[in-house]
Amino acid sequence: MVHFFTVETFETMDESFGELAKLLQFRDKEQERVERSEKKKKGQLSTEDMEMDAWDKEMKVSNVF
């Protein structure tokens, strides 16, 4: 059986793969957040992570006003 693909078929497939890639990237970032949160609770953050955490808090507070 021979399959013929049109340009539209490839465009649709390309869009679908793009959406899938975004979902997979989101999951990777979610896992990073979970791991960072666990390290923070255990007091195991690196100096760089502690500095970034402090900066994040400062930005959140400054954006409230």
- Which sequence spans correspond to the domains of the chain? 7-64
pLDDT in tens, the chain (65 residues): 666 667 777 677 777 887 887 777 777 778 888 898 999 899 998 999 889 889 988 888 887 65
Predicted confidence at residue 23, as pLDDT, reads 77
Q: Looking at residue 2, what is its pLDDT?
A: 62
Let me know: does 39 contact 45? Beta carbons within 8 Å. Answer: yes
- State if pTM tops 0.85: no
Which tokens go with 35? 């791991």
Residues 14 and 53: their CA atoms lie apart, in Å, by: 37
What confidence score (pLDDT) does residue 28 get? 72
**Which pLDDT belongs to residue 1?**
61
